[in-house]
């Protein structure tokens, strides 16, 4: 990672490599290092204005900008897909300001910035997963005072987290929280895993990759170092369980993956397909076929281009 | 009980040079002398009646004996768990312990408690002393039946009862325990003849059980029937300041 | 009301306690003990320092002078202000209760009655939903809230119900000491009576020690064994509750007692 200024589009204002100035990156890296040292702890940082609105991943972008180097290969996913507006914009942003290689292949990426999903393919020790986080404080739901929630974290007073789960069961008969499902990190800090489906929670546990979380508007960074115990909170008589899908992916026939519902027409026609588009494509490339794969072949080929 | 037996019985309460005067701060601090140098003792099984006209300080002495009024001087020695303890200098916790275990009180008026039934009110002193609550209620039922409290009233809070009914609840509450000292502040005041007889019999039973009783009775018939001794309070009248 | 048990050691000891707000005195030179199972009333009018005192002895407000010592369950006596904040907060949610005048200050208004009662259990590590809910239902019954209201939120409850819920929420962990700040404050008279009776019964049944701040002498008489009368931040008179009320000694106490409307 070097700090050379980058001349962009000949004659326009020169940006520093990866947009942020080096002092800012150092500040953010210090926050990241602190976060790694205290797994699950929310480290405050001086979040910068970014050339995109809050809610578009400004926290994740700042983290990525601070860790990315010229040799890195970046993948950006939004709701599992590489081709939605947010993912495309962020990918284009880094191509422009850092001139890094980009990919949609999970396996090829060294830095993966994500919103709402963890790739289906297991991550490796040579990868970093950067999450975009809207609300980092898991206790916020019941305790609006920041002074109080910080004290609760400091003193490990986490009864309130179970109050939320209790309410779920009382109201719905089961823990109805399906995303942003709270976890206990390294047996110490309760953490909001960002709005990923709880389906992905088990992937965080003992993950080989470094996981970094950035919340731009809330000015917090936190981290899960590789091989860290991450446990989803639950009750003895209502144990944590992930969503199950009745049918496999309509395109690649994958089971045990997270599926999105896709509405096909206005007569109630629908199908369930992999949320992780890269995973789905790889499977189809390997010859796996779901029951609707033939009809969709054209559309997906086009999307992949 | 013969005079000789009285002499032999151990002292349960010994009042020494007890004094009381009120300072009325709201009326320019005027002093209201009540009694001074009150001295008498009561043996186990004895019933002593405080005599004298209204204003002689009978009620004030009674309230000091229960710790309800602060004494202006002197001592009230009470045999509490086998030891003589001075109620005047006892700290509040000791007074509470003495009330729970040693000194019972039948006041003239019932202090009702919202929503607490007559039955529970009567059983309460026993439960406070550790008696099983069902057993305490059973004893309360027996006592209320004996005092002719209509059964339909037992489950109701006594706030709306007649004066006589409230009085009998109060008596039952005072008599239900086996406190070794019992203070009786006009317990028969609003009772009819039949119930008065019953209360007199109950006082006699307490005497036979060795309870030291100190009472105020305006009704001469009752007083003469229950009193072993009458102490005329006029002899202790305090001089005006 | 059952009397206090004759334990030899006080549960809470307050010595020379004072709180200044700059030049203004909140309370000064207050000393007293509370024994297990004993109910102490602190009475006085608004501004007498009774709430300051309550906050100082319940670790909600650091006193300027003096010491507050508390005997823990293991028999050890500790100075509250020498304990760590973590220890103090643990004490507050296990061995202590605090009943606020306004139930909204002591309840989570947006979560169900059952969760309000269950929170302390979850805070001390209970992780069995069925057991937590069962205990909560049992406590709702004890404070006379119908079991079918267990999933309703306190904002749908009447003032009296909210106050009873707050009491259940505090008592569920079996505390030994409960602080109450004007517990019947904002309630109608008939609702007050019901609540007082309930508190009186619970305190006696559970052998709780309680410190009740009130301006209402009737509340003090009904609930407390002993009372402290405060004025201008200082203790004016202290003693057995019925002695203080029936034979008040200090001029101010005489004024206070004579000011009550007789019903």
Nearest-angstrom CA–CA distance, C5 and A146 = 43
CB nearest to C35's CB, from B23, B93, B99: B93
Lowest mean pLDDT among A27-31, A233-237, A288-292: A288-292
Structure token digits, residue A267 = 């007569």
Edge to edge, the sheet with strand B11-24 lists: B30-43, B11-24, B73-80, B83-86
CB nearest to C151's CB, from A157, A159, A170: A170
pLDDT of residue A10: 52
Active site residue A274: yes
What does the DSSP assignment read for A271-282? Answer: EEEES-HHHHHH
Nearest-angstrom CA–CA distance, A79 and A273 = 13
pLDDT of residue C6: 47
**Surface-to-core class of residue A298, CB atoms within 10 Å of its CB (0-12 exposed, 13-18 middle, 19+ buried):** exposed
pLDDT exceeds cutoff 70 at A258? yes
pLDDT exceeds cutoff 80 at A3? no
pLDDT of residue C190: 81
Contacts of the segment C125-129: beta carbons below 8 A, 24+ positions apart: C127/A162, C127/A234, C127/A235, C127/A236, C128/A235, C128/A236, C128/A237, C129/A166, C129/A169, C129/A235, C129/A236, C129/A237, C129/A238
pLDDT of residue C54: 96
Pairing verdict, β A183-185 and A230-232: antiparallel
What is the average pLDDT across A50-64?
Answer: 92
For A142, phi then psi, to 5°, come to: -115, -15
**Surface-to-core class of residue B8, CB atoms within 10 Å of its CB (0-12 exposed, 13-18 middle, 19+ buried):** exposed
pLDDT of residue B60: 94
What is the average pLDDT across C234-256?
Answer: 95
Does the distance separating the beta carbons of A157 and C123 come in below 8 Å?
A: yes
Nearest-angstrom CA–CA distance, A167 and B198 = 61
What is the average pLDDT across A152-162?
Answer: 92
Active site residue A207: no
Sign of CA dihedral C164, B117, B190, B176: negative
Structure token digits, residue C107 = 């309840």
Q: Which chains touch C (3 or more CB pairs under 8 A)?
A: A, B
What is the average pLDDT across A221-238?
Answer: 97
Domains annotated on chain A, with CATH = 22-232 (3.40.50.11310), 259-304 (no CATH)
Structure token digits, residue B122 = 């009567």
If you average pLDDT over every residue of chain B, what do you get?
90
pLDDT exceeds cutoff 70 at C159? yes
Residue B22 — pLDDT band, cuts 50, 70, 90?
Answer: very high
Share above pLDDT 70 across residues of chain B, in percent, rounded to a whole number: 96
Nearest-angstrom CA–CA distance, C168 and C114 = 10
Does the distance separating the beta carbons of C194 and B113 come in below 8 Å?
A: no
Nearest-angstrom CA–CA distance, A211 and A194 = 12
Does the distance separating the beta carbons of C197 and B113 come in below 8 Å?
A: yes
pLDDT of residue A281: 93
pLDDT of residue A138: 95
Q: Is C123 on the interface with A (CB under 8 A)?
A: yes
Lowest mean pLDDT among A141-145, C93-97, C102-106, C164-168: A141-145
What contacts B110, CB < 8 A, 6 or more positions away? B158, B166, B167, B169, B170
CB nearest to C197's CB, from B67, B70, B115: B115
Residue B167: which H helix or E strand, with range? helix B163-175
Active site residue A280: yes
Which value, in Å, is the radius of gyration of the alpha carbons in chain A?
Answer: 20
For C259, phi then psi, to 5°, come to: -85, -10
What is the average pLDDT across A218-228?
Answer: 97
Mind listing the pLDDT tens digit for each residue in C3-36?
444 467 899 999 999 999 999 999 999 999 999 9
Nearest alpha carbon to residue A275 among A260, A291, A262: A260
Q: Do chains B and A touch (3 or more CB pairs under 8 A)?
A: no
Among the options A35, A214, A216, A252, which is catalytic?
A252
Does the distance separating the beta carbons of C127 and A142 come in below 8 Å?
A: no
pLDDT of residue C70: 96
Nearest-angstrom CA–CA distance, B211 and A115 = 84
pTM: 0.86
Which of C85, C123, C136, C137 best probes binding to A when mutated, by most A CB atoms within 10 angstroms?
A: C123
Q: Which chains touch A (3 or more CB pairs under 8 A)?
A: C
Q: Do chains B and C touch (3 or more CB pairs under 8 A)?
A: yes
What contacts A298, CB < 8 A, 6 or more positions away? none
Q: Do chains C and A touch (3 or more CB pairs under 8 A)?
A: yes
Q: Is C105 on the interface with A (CB under 8 A)?
A: no
Whether the CB-CB separation of C237 and C250 falls below 8 Å is answered with yes
CB atoms within 10 A of CB B240: 8
Mind listing the pLDDT tens digit for each residue in C180-224?
999 988 788 888 888 888 888 888 888 899 999 999 998 999 899
Mind listing the pLDDT tens digit for each residue in B99-144?
999 999 988 777 777 778 999 999 999 998 889 999 999 999 999 9
Active site residue A252: yes
Residue A101 — pLDDT band, cuts 50, 70, 90?
Answer: very high
The distance of C127 to chain A (nearest Cα, Å) reads: 5
Pairing verdict, β A220-224 and A43-44: antiparallel
Residue C261 — pLDDT band, cuts 50, 70, 90?
Answer: low
Does the distance separating the beta carbons of A155 and C122 come in below 8 Å?
A: no
The distance of C87 to chain A (nearest Cα, Å) reads: 9
Torsion of CA C15, C20, C26, C29, to 10 degrees: 30
CB nearest to A236's CB, from C112, C120, C128: C128
- SS3 track for B113-153: CCCCCHHHHHHHHHHHCCCCHHHHHHHHHHHHHHCCCCHHH
Question: What is the residue whose two structure tokens read 């069995």?
Answer: C128
pLDDT of residue C3: 44
């Amino acid at each position: 990672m070097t700090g050379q200024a980058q001349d962009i589009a000949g004659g326009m204002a020169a940006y520093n490599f990866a947009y942020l100035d080096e002092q800012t990156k150092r500040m953010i890296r210090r926050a990241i290092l602190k976060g790694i040292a205290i797994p699950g702890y929310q480290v405050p940082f001086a979040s910068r204005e970014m050339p995109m609105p809050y809610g578009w991943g400004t926290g994740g972008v700042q983290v990525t900008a601070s860790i990315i180097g010229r040799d890195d290969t970046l993948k950006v996913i939004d709701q599992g897909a590489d081709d939605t507006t947010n993912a495309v914009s962020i990918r284009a942003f880094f191509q422009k300001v850092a001139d890094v290689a980009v990919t949609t292949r999970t396996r090829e990426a060294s830095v993966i910035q994500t919103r709402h999903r963890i790739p289906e393919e297991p991550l490796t020790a040579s990868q970093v997963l950067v999450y975009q986080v809207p609300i980092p404080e898991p206790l916020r739901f019941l305790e609006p005072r920041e002074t109080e929630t910080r004290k609760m974290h400091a003193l490990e007073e986490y009864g309130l987290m179970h109050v939320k789960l209790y309410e779920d069961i009382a109201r719905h008969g089961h823990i109805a929280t399906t995303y942003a499902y709270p976890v206990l990190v390294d047996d110490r800090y309760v953490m909001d895993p960002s709005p990923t489906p709880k389906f992905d929670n088990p992937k965080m546990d003992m993950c080989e990759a470094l996981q970094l979380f950035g919340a731009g508007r809330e000015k917090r960074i936190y981290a899960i170092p590789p091989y860290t115990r991450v446990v989803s909170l639950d009750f003895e008589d209502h144990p944590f369980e992930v969503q199950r899908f009745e049918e496999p992916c309509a395109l690649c026939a994958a089971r045990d993956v997270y599926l999105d519902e896709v509405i096909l027409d206005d007569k109630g026609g629908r199908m369930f397909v992999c949320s992780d588009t890269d995973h789905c494509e790889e499977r189809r490339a390997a010859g796996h076929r779901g029951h609707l794969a033939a009809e969709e072949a054209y559309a997906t080929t086009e999307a992949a281009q | 009980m013969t005079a000789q037996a009285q002499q032999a019985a151990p002292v349960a309460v010994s009042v020494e040079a007890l004094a009381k005067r009120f300072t009325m701060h709201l009326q320019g601090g005027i002093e209201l002398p009540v009694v001074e140098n009150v001295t008498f003792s009561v043996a186990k099984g004895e019933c002593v009646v405080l005599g004298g006209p209204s204003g002689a300080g009978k009620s004030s002495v009674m309230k000091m004996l229960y710790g309800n009024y602060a004494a202006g001087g002197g001592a009230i020695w009470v045999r509490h768990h086998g030891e003589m303890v001075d109620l005047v200098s006892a700290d509040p916790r000791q007074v509470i312990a003495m009330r729970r275990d040693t000194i019972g009180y039948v006041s003239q008026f019932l202090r009702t408690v919202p929503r607490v039934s007559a039955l529970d009110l009567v059983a309460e002193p026993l439960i406070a002393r550790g008696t099983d609550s069902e057993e305490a209620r059973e004893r309360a039922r027996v006592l209320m039946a004996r005092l002719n409290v209509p059964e339909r009233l037992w489950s109701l809070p006594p706030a709306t009862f007649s004066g006589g009914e409230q009085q009998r609840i109060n008596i039952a509450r005072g008599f239900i325990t086996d406190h070794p000292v019992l203070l009786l502040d006009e317990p028969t005041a609003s009772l009819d003849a039949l119930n008065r007889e019953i209360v007199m019999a109950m006082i006699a039973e307490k005497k036979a059980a060795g309870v030291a009783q100190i009472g105020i009775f305006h009704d001469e018939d009752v007083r003469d029937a229950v009193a072993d001794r009458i102490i005329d309070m006029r002899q202790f009248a305090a001089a005006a300041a | 009301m059952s009397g206090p048990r004759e334990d030899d050691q006080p549960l809470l000891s307050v010595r020379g306690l004072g709180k200044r707000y700059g030049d203004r005195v909140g309370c000064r030179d207050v000393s007293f003990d509370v024994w297990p199972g004993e109910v102490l009333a602190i009475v006085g009018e608004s501004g007498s320092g009774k709430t300051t005192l309550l906050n100082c002895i319940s670790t909600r407000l650091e006193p300027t002078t003096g010491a507050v010592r508390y005997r823990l369950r293991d028999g050890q006596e500790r100075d509250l202000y020498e304990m760590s904040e973590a220890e103090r907060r643990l004490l507050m949610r296990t061995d202590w209760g605090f009943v606020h005048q306004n139930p909204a200050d002591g309840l989570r208004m947006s979560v169900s009655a059952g969760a309000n009662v269950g929170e302390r259990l979850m805070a001390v590590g209970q992780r069995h939903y069925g057991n937590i809910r069962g205990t909560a239902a049992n406590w709702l019954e004890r404070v006379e809230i119908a079991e079918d209201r267990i999933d309703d939120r306190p904002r749908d409850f009447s003032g009296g119900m909210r106050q009873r819920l707050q009491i259940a929420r505090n008592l569920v962990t079996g505390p030994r000491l409960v602080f109450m700040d004007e517990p019947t404050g904002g309630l109608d008279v008939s609702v007050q009576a019901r609540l007082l009776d309930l508190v009186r019964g619970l305190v006696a049944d559970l052998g709780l020690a309680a410190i009740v701040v009130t301006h209402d002498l009737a509340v003090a008489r009904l609930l407390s064994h002993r009372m402290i009368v405060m004025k201008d931040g200082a203790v004016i008179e202290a003693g057995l509750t019925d002695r203080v009320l029936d034979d008040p000694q200090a001029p101010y106490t005489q004024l206070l007692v004579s000011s009550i409307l007789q019903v």
